[in-house]
A and B are shown apart, each in its own frame.
Chain A
Amino acid sequence: MAAAGPSVFLLMVNGQVESAQFPEYDDLYCKYCFVYGQDWAPTAGLEEGISQITCKSQDVRRALVWNFPIDITFKSTNPYGWPQIVLSVYGPDVFGNDVIRGYGVAHVPLSPGSTSVCENICFRHKRTIPMFVPESTSKLQKFTSWFMGRRPEYTDPKVVAQGEGREVTRVRSQGFVTLLFNVVTKDMRKLGYDTGPPDTHGILGPSPPQGLPG
């Protein structure tokens, strides 16, 4: 079977959780994990990570910089369930309890490409993810959760990567996290998936996707 060509395609993602904008909070740390479909499997790298605690910069930007690296390789047979990165940011509240400051999710970029450090080339895979937290169900609950430092949290941060069941929740937006991705894919085109932008096509040129090989 190996002679007939690849039977999986590979997706390599590296990049970093660069920084965040949380105007009201300080001393935050961030967790990330990947959510992917059943046909996906990580082959190398870390699926989850937790960053250091960062304080706000003293300049006007008030940025919270982590520069926390991401490096993972997936293999898959099916683009369905394309990996998503789920971010959750935590930080201390007034009483010093660690509480959730934001959940966010973004798909790993579909098209290969890298962020350029050079200023005048566009940052193709720079993502700014708006973050949100679940809201308390009532004012009283809100108060008690604030008072006791037990804010409502998702049972699992991966919930934010799924659409199912979200209708029962209410969230509030707060802050942004900036992510940088560099994406390399292997054998995707050979399996009939064309994700690249037209300018990176190389010699082959745009070939119509053959559906799925029979």
Chain B
Amino acid sequence: MNPQEEKVKIITEEFIENDEDADVGRQKTSRVQRRKRKKQLPTAGPDEMVSEKSHLGDQQEPGHEDPNADARPLSMPTRRGPRSLPPIPSASRTGFAEFSMRERMREKLQAARSKAESALLQEIPTPRPRRLRSPSEKELETEFGTEPGGKIQTTQQEDDSQSYSRVKFRDSVRKIKSKTPVPPGFPSAEEAYNFFTFNFDPEPEESEEKPKAKNRDGANQEEGEGEEEEAPVPEGIDKTDEEVLLDDKDAVDFLLGLDRGAEDIVAVRPADYESVHIRLQKEKELLFIPSRRTVPTYKKLPENVQPRFLEDEGLYIGARLEVPRTNQNIMENRLLMQEPGRRWFGDDGRILALPNPIKPFPSRPLVLTQEQDIKAELETLYKKLQALRNAVQVSLNPAKTPKSLDTTRRAINEYKSEIRQTRKLRDIEQEKDRTLLKTIIKVWKEMKSLREFQRFTNTPLKLVLRKEKVDQKADEEAYEAEIQAEISELLEEHREEYEQRMDEYRSAHQQWKAWKKAQRTKKKKKKQGVEEHPDDEMEEPYPEEDPVKPVPPEPTNQAVIEQEVRERAAQSRRRPGEPMLVPELSLAGSVTPNDQCPRVEVLRREDVKRRSVYLKVLFNDKEVSRTNSRPLGADFRVHFGQIFNLQIVNWPESLTLQVYETVGHSGTTLLAEVFLPIPETTVVTGRAPLEEVEFSSNQHVTLDHEGVGSGVPFSFEADGSNQLTLMTSGKVSNSVSWAIGENGIPLIPPLSQQNIGFRSALKRADAISSIGTSGLTDMKKLAKWAAESKLDPNDPNNAPLMQLILVATSGESYVPDFFRLEQLQQEFNFVSDEELNRSKRFRLLRLRSQEVPEFRNYKQIPVYDREIMEKVFQDYEKRLRDRNVIETKDHIDTHRAIVAKYLQQVRESVINRFLIAKHHFLLADLIVEEEVPNISILGLRLFKLAEQKRPLRPRRKGRKKVTVQNLSDGDIKLLVNIIRAYDIPVRKPITSKFQQPPRSSRTFSEKQAASPTTHSPTHSADYPLSQVLVRPFVEVSFQRTICHTTTADGPNPSWNEELELPFRAPNGDYSTTSLQSVKDDVFINIFDEVLYDVLEDDRERASGIHTRIERHWLGCVKIPFSTIYFQAKIDGTFKIDTPPVLLGYSKERSVVAERGFDPVRSLSEGSYITLFITMEPQLVPGESVREKTSDMLKKFDSQEDEKLLQATEKFQAECALKFPNRQCLTTVIDISGKTVFITRYLKPLNPPQELLNAYPNNPQATAELVARYVSLIPFLPDTVSFAGICDLWSTSDQFLDLLAGDEEEHAVLLCNYFLSLGKKAWLMMGNAIPEGPTAYVLTREQSHYLIWNPCSGHFYGQFDTFCPLKSVGCLIGPDNIWFNIQRHDSPLRINFDITKPKLWKSFFSRSLPYPGLSSVQPEELIYQRTDKAAAAELQDRIEKILKEKIMDWRPRHLTRWNRYCTSTLRHFLPLLERSQGEDVEDDHRAELLKQLGDYRFSGFPLHMPYSELKPLIEAVYSTGVHNIDVPNVEFALAVYIHPYPKNVLSVWIYVASLIRNR
């Protein structure tokens, strides 16, 4: 309804403006007034009405008006009149004007409300008005046509249906109500009449006005006022008459209505129902649901404004917050609806979400200062241009150029292009210059006008434009010459270009011509063809493919070029003859004195005087000094003139000046900060120029005087146009420089840190390190990265990075080719490196932390170097030195020395790897956690609850395992339980064959035999077979501690004794690794205790006993500690390693009688001992470490097929699931650390021919010989050498080269030999006693299986109870792996038929066929014959050494050597070798007895493979032969070495002690 409102305004204005129109507009006024009154009503009306209105709803508005109208007349009765009466003419103009003004105000206030009301008035009239209006409607129809009326009616009818009843009811209520506030007696017919007429008057008016407005097409109403306003006037008059008529009727109705009121109130109506449609419609009116659609940009921006994107202008605006698009749209729609003023939207048409980078206040443009720079630049450019031109001239002159033509041309070309560039630059500069000059003049003019306007001058600033007269003619000439030069250059350029193009054209044309020709000939042919076949006439083939006929390039038009040049010159250059303007700024102007200034100006000047300014100097963001506070001069200048000397300690990072302003005595305010650059190192005192740095603050200052203030818009012009906003801004003149010291040396930072730009950038750009240090080393890369990652160069966060890149890529600064990670490392170094190396203490500390074995557990490193002995390092240094020196002292044999060295190195490398792995922890290493029990364990546990506390048959309970951390010496004990032994050899009745020994030398036991104290029946001398008893005892030695049991009797003794041996870890280091690498063995020796009566005199026999105890070694069992450690316990019966010949003892014949009763024992030969060995407390074996490293090793590369590896993992997982305890091996690690499939190791390999030739007709004997050969290769357990890390499998040739290996290598070699012998053989992985997890070889003979121990060379039948192999995990053949899935795993109880898939799960099956893996073994083994001479030499050396040792071991006794005996033994040993220690005993004994008849002889041959000397010595020592301390004892020692191919040596040592019988 804007038109209406506007009109009202306009009309009232009319009244003000032309009172002569009053008469004409009288009618108008009346109407206007009426309407005005109506509009006033809501304000004037009582409050209750307002409230009522609000909750009655908009429909009621018409009804509302009535009471309001009622109230009005009371206050303004006079003005009411005009409706019926002519207006009072006497109303004065002013009064009217005032009135109208007030009206206007009110109207403004009520604009919105009245708008709504009038709108509703039109649309929803009450039923009564409709009835009343009918006549007027008619009239409307007559006068204005049906349009409005019809409209109204339709709307009415629509609304009536629902609103009629309600409205009516309420109306009547209101009528009553409206009456009530009126004082009694006052309301009258007239009142009522007024009431109603008022109410319904506007309706037709509105309707007529509306069309009127429409008629006017919303155009300016003022225009047609005079004329068109006339039209409604008569109508209005008519209507008023009519109204009177109608209202009379109305009044009657009203009165009647009053009577009827009661009935109306109680009228019962059906419940209102609003259809959904309508409700939606209404909701639509009430509710606003913002659309989700994107708002077009033009709606969000002021009209005709293009969105402005600040990023495009190179400003950094930051990243917007992520908001879903729909939410954004909703918000935008809402904002648009709520507040049409677009203040929520930025210039880019998006909601403001980020701080605006643009200052709302422009800062002062600085005009004058730039002048100088540009001038200088211009000069240089000019000069350059001239120089270049000259150069071209010179070089073009061929006479003068001694250079070759080629180079000249190139140079010329370069010059020319440079000229072009320079020209362009010059033009640009010139243009700048001109515009600058223009602006200067403009500013000066402005200033002048301002001064004139203000009528006073404030500053002495004065600009004088000095005109430099120029010689018109010369100038013109110069100008012309310049232009000509340029033209000629351009022409030349163009010509070149033209020629080039011409060339192109020519060649193109040539081509085209050729093509054309070809085409023509073709055409001709075609034509002929066409003639022949007129039917297939066709168009030129592929017309579009014709090469376009090249167009010759147009020659350059000189005129055009000239035109261009001249135009450009006119634009950017001073016209010829135009005087040169040189602006000169001077301070010569006069300042208007105070008394001539207006008051405000005086005020301003005083204010300026009150202000003072001081500066603070901040270095590295810390205030270091400040200037005095100086008052601001009248010309706004402050002179400080102070010099601050700054001694800096820290690296200069920033230098800042802070400008503070003080006003009077009030506080200071920080105006601005000025950042000064750190001066270059070349800038020293005295040479530093004064520099001006601008600053500006965004402070808002509004002053109450003429002063401009800051940030406040103002205008220079008198009319207030052309507003400007100036900020507080200024310049600081300063100079920063490095001081010069006393001796003239500039006090600049140290040279190493001279590269300030780069370094400081580096320092600031700490963020760079996050990119990765490699970025810094290569600046180009960094720049590339920055470009690729689209870093916003405007982002302040990236500033250091960008600066760095800029500096680096510009090539100005020196980029070091290194990057220092820790710049301050040197400062923080503990001591210098030299000192660190020199100090013994530091060296010791370092070596310890590197876990060098010698120092790993070094305790209490002394404080002072002097307390550290040099010898501490000696061992270590020696080891380092010896690493590559092969030492033959211990090894005798050079080959073995090399091998030992090699092994040592392998060991070291593996240990190093292992040390790394040691620092890799698993959860289980740190936390003890119960495993999740499965249902059976849970059930067992529940069952246990009900278990008896003291069961009849107690079960063994597991001991608690102890971790190794808190152990120390003496905490760990080795418990050896010796239970019993079987088949101990018994003494032979030596006397039976020969003469009785002399009485004195008869054994004590023999003497005792008849004594009644002897309980054993075997002791009786009249034992049927004159059995000589044996009194064995067991001695256990470990780490040189010796314990022995009591002596038992008989060949099957039962000791059942527990021996306790302390355990000491090497170096007191009880860590898992250290324990794993303990190499000590437990020796269990069985001795026979023999008592000799040494009583010299028979007469004393009655009174005393004098006997000597002798112990005779019978055999031994050797168990490595590592086995005990890994197995936790060793429990079983072991074969005693007895010497093949045990003089004076025998087994078979003596126990013939017993054998019959013991069928089990009879199956095997030899003696056995039952043992139980464990450690107290039980130690947790470092198994986890082992697995872990093997896991790690698994990650080493493999050449196996990926699929195969996956299959192996799957196979192993499946097997482990079924039988977790059974060993399943599919892949192993070879010596180079690669994973290899195990079957690749198995391949028939030829044994030495020598062995095959030995028994050509006896395959079994050959097999045994081969096994013996293999067993002669020294055994070296992996677990010891590699400290429990992993099994490394070497191939057979490597094994033979190394001459050392563990079970696997032995087994592989043996298996390969058997395969080559044509046997069916498999590698058998399982558990054996005492080795633990090990490898055996299984062969299939005709009817039975044989189990071979590859390390000892022994073989066992499948059903041999004494077979050390206790369980079988899997069998490995050359082409498959079979996992044992039978219930039992003991070889006694399993079936070795691998063809049965129910018993053996095979790796390769039909689903995964054997892919035919190539072997890692060599094609053939080549055996060198061993040098016999070397062997003999070795033999002699060993003998010598052993003899020396024995003498050493008997320090208190004389050791005599019986040479005769020794030579006898030496002859005997080869026999033993030949027979492999069998069936020679009797002959040997006989021979010995024959030769050494008068000696009591005890001794035995030892047999072992040769690896090193030390084991031999140990073995000899452990027999205890040297312990005999009979005074007249003699010794015999013989060594025999039998060489086998490939340097495999079999060593026999015969030791014997002889006691001469008297």
The 0/1 profile, CB within 8 Å of A marked 1, for residues 830-857 of chain B is 1100010011011001001000000001
Interface residues of A in 103-144 (CB under 8 A from B): 134, 136-138, 140-141, 144
Is A8 an interface residue when CB atoms closer than 8 A count as contact?
yes
Q: How far is the CB of B864 from chain A (nearest CB, A)?
A: 6
Asked whether A169 and B926 contact (CB < 8 A) given A156-B965, A211-B831, A214-B839, the answer is yes
Query: Which residues of B are found within 8 Å of A144, using beta-carbon distances?
Result: 930, 932-933
A152 at the interface (CB under 8 A from B): yes
Complex interface: chain A residues within 8 A of B1408 (CB): none
Q: Is A159 an interface residue (CB 8 A)?
A: yes
Complex contacts, A165 vs chain B, CB 8 Å? 919-921, 925-926
Q: Are A141 and B929 in contact (CB under 8 A)?
A: yes
Could you say which of A78, A138, A154, A168 contacts B863, with CB atoms under 8 Å apart?
A78
CA of A125 to CA of B845, assembled, Å: 31
Assess the B929–A137 pair: CB atoms within 8 A.
yes
Would you give the shortest CB distance from A12 to chain B, in whole angstroms? 18
How many interface contacts (CB-CB < 8 Å) are there between A and B?
106
Report the minimum CB–CB distance from B943 to chain A (whole Å). 15
The residue among A145, A167, A168 with the most chain B CB atoms within 10 A of its own CB is: A168
Q: Is A212 at the interface (CB under 8 A from chain B)? A: yes
Write out, one digit per residue, whether chain B residues 923-954 have a CB within 8 A of any chain A CB (1) or not (0): 10111111011000000010000000000000
Chain B residues contacting A137 (CB-CB under 8 Å) are 923, 929
Q: Are A191 and B863 in contact (CB under 8 A)?
A: yes
A153: nearest chain-B partner, CB-CB: B928
Contact B861 A39 (CB under 8 A): yes
A39 surroundings in chain B (CB, below 8 A): 859-861
Cβ of B1164 within 8 Å of any chain A Cβ, yes or no, is no
Query: Is the pair A7, B839 in contact by a Cβ cutoff of 8 Å?
Result: no
B929 touches A136 (CB 8 A): yes
CB nearest neighbor in B for A190: B863
B835's closest neighbor in chain A, by CB?
A: A214
Q: Residues of B contacting A211 with CB < 8 Å?
A: 830-831
CB distance from B1442 to the nearest CB of A (A): 42
- CA of A7 to CA of B860, assembled, Å: 10
Q: Which residues of chain B are within 8 angstroms of A140 by Cβ–Cβ distance?
A: 932
Considering the chains assembled together, what is the distance between the CA atoms of A214 and B843 in angstroms? 12
Of all chain B residues, the one with the shortest Cβ separation from A135 is B927
- Other than A80-B845, A212-B841, give 9 A-B pairs with Cβ distance below 8 A: A1-B864, A39-B860, A77-B860, A141-B929, A155-B965, A164-B919, A165-B926, A168-B923, A168-B926
B857-880: CB near A (< 8 Å → 1, else 0) gives 111111111110000000000000
Q: Is A208 an interface residue, CB under 8 A from the partner?
A: no
List residues 142-184 of chain A with CB under 8 A from any CB of chain B: 144-145, 148, 150, 152-156, 158-159, 164-169
CA distance A142 to B8 in the complex (A): 86
Complex-state Cα separation, A167 to B923, whole angstroms: 9
**Chain B contact residues: helix, strand, loop or mixed:** loop
Cα A7 to Cα B866 with chains together (Å): 11
Report the minimal beta-carbon distance from B1176 to chain A, rounded to whole angstroms.
20
Asked if A155 and B861 sit within 8 Å, CB to CB, the answer is no
By a CB distance below 8 angstroms, the chain B residues around A212 are: 831, 839, 841-842, 863
Is the beta-carbon distance between B926 and A159 smaller than 8 angstroms?
Answer: yes
Q: Is B646 an interface residue (CB 8 A)?
A: no
Interfacial chain A residues near B923, Cβ < 8 Å: 137, 168-169
Residue of B at shortest CB range from A77?
B863
Q: Name, among B860, B861, B927, the residue most crowded by chain A CB atoms within 10 Å (CB to CB).
A: B927
Point out which of B863, B864, B925, B941 has the most chain A C-beta atoms below 10 A from its C-beta.
B863
- Residue A38 at the chain B interface, CB threshold 8 Å: yes
A166 touches B929 (CB 8 A): no
The reply to whether A7 and B867 contact each other, CB–CB distance below 8 Å, is yes
Tell whether, in the assembled complex, residue A155 and residue B864 are in contact, meaning their CB atoms are under 8 Å apart: no
Using CB atoms, name the residue of chain A closest to B924.
Answer: A155
Evaluate contact between A164 and B864: CB separation under 8 angstroms: no
Interface residues of A in 41-94 (CB under 8 A from B): 41, 76-78, 80
A213 within 8 A of B: yes
Within 8 Å CB of B841, what residues of A? Answer: 212
Q: Which residue of A lies closest to B832 (CB)?
A: A211
Taking CB atoms and an 8 Å cut-off, the chain B residues in 944-989 that contact chain A are 963, 965-966
Q: Do B929 and A78 have beta carbons less than 8 Å apart?
A: no
Could you tell me the distance between the alpha carbons of A167 and B860 in the complex, rounded to whole angstroms?
30
A4 beta carbon closer than 8 Å to chain B: yes
Query: A213 touching B926 by the CB < 8 A rule?
Result: no
For residue B1065, give the distance in angstroms from its CB to the closest CB of chain A: 16
Q: How far is the CB of B1179 from chain A (nearest CB, A)?
A: 13
Other-chain contact of B930, A7, A76, A78, A150 (Cβ < 8 Å): A150
Range of interface residues on chain A? 35 or more
Contact between B930 and A145 (Cβ–Cβ < 8 Å)?
Answer: yes
> Who on chain B is nearest to A140 by CB?
B932
**B926 contacts A141, C-beta separation under 8 Å:** no
Which listed residue (B862, B922, B966) contacts A168, Cβ 8 A? B922
Contact B928–A154 (Cβ < 8 Å): yes
Interface residues on B, range: 35 or more
What are 10 A-B residue pairs whose CB atoms fall within 8 Å in the complex? A1-B867, A7-B862, A7-B863, A38-B859, A39-B860, A77-B861, A78-B863, A155-B965, A212-B839, A214-B865
Closest 6 CB pairs of A and B: A165-B921, A152-B929, A150-B930, A77-B863, A156-B965, A168-B923
Residue of B nearest to A150 (CB): B930
Across the interface, do A155 and B932 meet the contact criterion of CB distance under 8 Å?
no
From B919, B926, B933, B963, residue with most partner A Cβ within 10 Å? B926
Give the distance in Å from the alpha carbon of A213 to the alpha carbon of B928 in the complex. 45
A141 touches B925 (CB 8 A): no
Q: Are B864 and A152 in contact (CB under 8 A)?
A: no
Distance in angstroms between the alpha carbons of A141 and B930 in the assembled complex: 8
Contacts of A213 in B (CB 8 A): 863-865
Residues in A whose Cβ lies below 8 Å from that of B867: 1, 7
Closest to B919 in A: A164
Cβ–Cβ < 8 Å partners of A7 in chain B: 862-864, 867
Residues of B866-896 at the interface with A, using a CB-CB cut-off of 8 Å, are: 866-867
B860 touches A38 (CB 8 A): yes
- Could you tell me which residues of chain B, from 245 to 291, have a CB within 8 Å of some CB in chain A? none
Query: How close is B962's CB to chain A, nearest CB, in angstroms?
Result: 10
Distance in angstroms between the alpha carbons of A101 and B817 in the assembled complex = 56
**Partner of A78 from B838, B845, B966 at Cβ < 8 Å:** B845
A155-B963, A168-B921 known; A38 and B858 CB under 8 Å?
A: yes
Residue contact A156 to B839, C-beta cutoff 8 Å:
no
CB of A134 within 8 A of CB of B927, answer yes
Which residue in chain A gives the minimum CB-CB distance to B840? A214
Q: Complex: how many Å from CA A197 to CA B931?
A: 50
- Among residues 800 to 841 in chain B, which have CB atoms less than 8 Å away from a CB atom of chain A? 830-831, 835, 838-839, 841
Q: Which of B925, B929, B966 contacts A145 (CB 8 A)?
A: B929
A89 to B70, CA, bound (A): 93
Residues on A with C-beta less than 8 A from B929 are: 134, 136-137, 141, 145, 152-153
Asked if B921 and A164 sit within 8 Å, CB to CB, the answer is yes
- Determine the chain A residues whose CB is within 8 A of the CB of B927 once the complex forms: 134, 152-155, 169
- Contact bitstring A1-20, B, C-beta under 8 A = 1, else 0: 10010011000000000000
Tell me which residues across on chain A come within 8 A of B919, comparing CB atoms: 164-165
Q: How far is the CA of A4 from the CA of B830 in the complex (A)?
A: 24
Chain B contacts for A164, CB-based, 8 A: 919, 921
| C-alpha gap A7/B859 in the complex (Å) | 14
Q: How far is the CA of A155 from the CA of B929 in the complex (A)?
A: 9
Say how far B617's CB is from chain A's closest CB, in angstroms.
33
- A158 CA / B179 CA spacing, docked (Å): 99
Tell me the bound Cα distance from A138 to B929 in angstroms.
Answer: 11
**B863 contacts A155, C-beta separation under 8 Å:** no
Q: Give the residues in chain B near A154, CB-CB below 8 Å.
A: 926-928
Q: Which residue of A lies closest to B865 (CB)?
A: A214
Q: How far is the CA of A12 from the CA of B221 in the complex (A)?
A: 106
Query: In the complex, what residues of B have CB within 8 A of residue A1's CB?
Result: 864, 866-867
Query: Which B residue's beta carbon lies closest to that of A38?
Result: B859
Cβ-neighbour of B932 out of A4, A38, A77, A141 (below 8 A): A141
Q: Are B930 and A148 interface neighbours, CB within 8 A?
A: yes
Within the complex, the shortest CB–CB distance from A170 to chain B, in Å, comes to 9
User: Assuming the A-B contacts A38-B858, A77-B860, A144-B932, are A155 and B926 also in contact, with contact meaning beta carbons closer than 8 angstroms in the complex?
Assistant: yes
